[in-house]
Amino acid sequence: MKRKLMIAAASAVLATAGAGAAWAAMASGTAPSEDRSDAAALSQAKISLGQAAAVAERHAGGRAVEAALEAEGDAVVYEVAVLTGSTEHEVTVDARSGAVTKMTGGDAEDGDEGSERGVDRD
């Protein structure tokens, strides 16, 4: 029992140290370029992941099951997977304005413009 506790504690310390080292590398500019570009994309987002998921859920009429922030050229977007029944839709939400820019899957066509044009930031 004591050995299991020590292993768990050691694992927690190593995980914390690893996260701290990654943060320090990003802060010092020595992080891999992908990490720096992810940080730059995040700094440009004006809405949260939760807000983007809520917009996508309303637009598709389902439940968000996965979401990610992506940089696509000059655009920064959230790509949100939404389940409606057994159909999965991918809803693209502009991270700056909160507008739905695209929805695919189910009956949606590529480039389906959304009616959502922003989010409440309260």
Q: What is the pLDDT of residues 65-102, one digit of tens each?
A: 999 999 878 899 999 999 999 999 999 999 999 999 99
Per-residue pLDDT of 35-58, as tens digits, reads 666 777 788 899 999 999 999 999
pTM: 0.61
Asked whether residue 122 carries a pLDDT value surpassing 60, the answer given is no
Secondary structure string (H, E, C) spanning the chain: CHHHHHHHHHHHHHHHHHHHHHHHHHHHCCCCHHHHHHHHHHHHCCCCHHHHHHHHHHHHCCEEEEEEEEEECCEEEEEEEEEECCEEEEEEEECCCCEEEEEEECCECCCCCCCCECCCCC
